[in-house]
């Protein structure tokens, strides 16, 4: 049984009961007499896993009619290219909001397929804030944003009103707060940061935007092929989808996205108030843009960081080391991380302050 407080950025913590049920299914899955690892994806049992997972996402996110939910592979990184390949003709322009490394990678890929207009960027400030002062021209094919910047700890607190299709990389905050899916024409998210284990990527797409590019698309990168195949055009990541289903069931049982949002606000408030109170620590990004999923902070005296990290590790906190482009610490607090783990971290911060007084 895992006994650490897992603040890792992804793959990340999932609920204990999901681990237990998944472990059981590896040994023997339901009444099949088989392990989930050996079962054919063409069995009615597994087809019902895919159907239930899709339905859970639709229910939890209140996905309106006219949208499809599909599972593909290749991570969010493949979506950086697959999305413009399916939506953007060579002579058309897409607008991108450059809010971090992932957003930047996404726009680089889009340049391979069409024209890119970077509407705003906070790159010069090491992505420490979300630019807000920009217009979205109405002649763009689509507008792309990243809802939560996993590495820098910033998050769009609200989404701009877009006159064109809005598409969004929600990899690190999907299902953590309520969003109005109807405001978006496409949402994608790598599973390993709130949905389930790595290997699966969720795409929610409005059907009417597809089939409008003139280029030829290889089958595996064509959204329409995956929709027609019910996410089983080829062998899907069976185990990853199965565990995602267990996690989605857990989420629903806990009270759904609304309840997750309440808990995530409570967890984030607990840690941010300690960062702001504690004389040794400070946050790294604009207060109004602070993420509730990935909380980045440093020490006023960087020489103390190693010692603090050791003390946190001794208290069972893992995954806290900040990304190399920000330094310091990053506490990722995805849905399954309990408030009690955040309290352990906060207590270590208090103890460390007392030690240094």
Residues that bind ligand PLP (CB under 6 A): 10, 75-77, 102, 146, 150, 169, 171-172, 190, 193
Q: Which of 141, 193, 206, 267 is catalytic?
A: 193
Residue nearest ligand PLP (C-beta atom): 75
Which residues make beta-bridge pairs with 281?
299
Q: Do residues 75 and 189 lie in contact, with contact meaning Cβ atoms separated by under 8 Å?
A: no
Concerning whether 29 is annotated as a catalytic residue, the answer is no
- Give the separation between CA 176 and CA 173, rounded to whole angstroms: 5
Our CB check for ligand PLP shows the closer of 190 and 319 to be: 190
- Give the separation between CA 216 and CA 237, rounded to whole angstroms: 26
Supply 320's token pair. 């806290």
Q: What letters, b where the CB count within 10 A reaches 16 and e where it falls short, cover 192-218? A: bbbbbbebbbbbbbbeebbeebeeeee
Residue 53: closest CA among 260, 336, 242, 250: 242
Concerning whether 193 is annotated as a catalytic residue, the answer is yes
Q: φ, ψ for residue 297 (rounded to 5)?
A: -150, 155
CB of 238 to ligand PLP, least distance (A): 18
Concerning whether 102 is annotated as a catalytic residue, the answer is yes
CB of 159 to ligand PLP, least distance (A): 15
CB of 354 to ligand PLP, least distance (A): 35
Our CB check for ligand PLP shows the closer of 53 and 104 to be: 104
Our CB check for ligand PLP shows the closer of 10 and 95 to be: 10
Q: At what angle do helices 16-27 and 238-253 cross, to 10 degrees?
A: 140
Our CB check for ligand PLP shows the closer of 102 and 352 to be: 102
Q: Which of 98, 169, 185, 289 is catalytic?
A: 169
CB of 307 to ligand PLP, least distance (A): 29
Our CB check for ligand PLP shows the closer of 10 and 237 to be: 10
Q: Which of 98, 102, 206, 222 is catalytic?
A: 102
CB of 137 to ligand PLP, least distance (A): 24
User: Number of helices (H) and strands (E), helices first, in the chain?
Assistant: 9, 14
Long-range own/partner contacts, residues 215-220 (CB < 8 A, 24 or more apart):
215/85, 215/89, 215/90, 215/113, 217/85, 217/86
Enumerate the active-site residues. Answer: 102, 169, 193
């Amino acid at each position: 049984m895992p006994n650490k407080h897992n603040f890792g950025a992804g793959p990340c913590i999932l609920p204990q009961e999901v681990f237990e049920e998944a472990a059981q299914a590896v040994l023997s899955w339901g009444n099949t007499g088989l392990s989930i690892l050996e079962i054919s994806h063409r069995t009615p049992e597994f087809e019902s896993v895919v159907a239930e997972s899709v339905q859970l996402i639709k229910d939890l996110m209140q996905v309106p009619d006219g949208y499809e939910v599909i599972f593909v592979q290749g991570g969010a990184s493949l979506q950086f290219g697959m999305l413009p390949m399916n939506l953007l003709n060579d002579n058309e322009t897409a607008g991108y909001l450059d809010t971090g490394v992932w957003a930047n990678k996404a726009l680089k890929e889009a340049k391979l397929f069409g024209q890119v207009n970077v509407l705003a960027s906070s790159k010069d400030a090491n992505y420490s804030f979300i630019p807000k002062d920009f217009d979205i021209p109405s002649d763009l094919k689509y507008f792309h944003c990243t809802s939560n910047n996993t590495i820098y700890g910033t998050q769009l607190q609200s989404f701009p009103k877009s006159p064109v299709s809005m598409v969004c990389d929600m990899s690190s905050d999907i299902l953590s707060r309520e969003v109005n899916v109807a405001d978006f024409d496409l949402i994608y998210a790598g599973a390993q940061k709130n949905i389930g284990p790595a290997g699966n990527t969720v795409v929610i797409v409005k059907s009417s935007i597809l089939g409008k590019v003139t280029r030829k698309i290889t089958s595996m990168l064509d959204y329409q092929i995956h929709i027609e195949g019910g996410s089983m055009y080829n062998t899907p990541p069976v185990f990853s989808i199965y565990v995602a289903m267990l996690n989605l069931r857990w989420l629903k049982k806990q009270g759904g996205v609304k309840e997750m949002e309440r808990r995530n606000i409570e967890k984030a408030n607990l840690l941010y108030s300690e960062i702001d109170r504690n004389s040794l620590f400070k946050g790294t990004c604009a207060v109004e843009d602070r993420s509730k999923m990935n909380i980045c902070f440093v020490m006023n005296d960087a020489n103390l960081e190693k010692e603090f990290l050791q003390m946190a590790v001794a208290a069972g906190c893992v995954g806290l080391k900040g990304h190399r482009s920000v330094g310091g610490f990053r506490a990722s607090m995805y849905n399954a991380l309990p408030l009690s783990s955040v309290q352990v971290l906060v207590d270590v911060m208090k103890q460390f302050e007392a030690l240094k007084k």
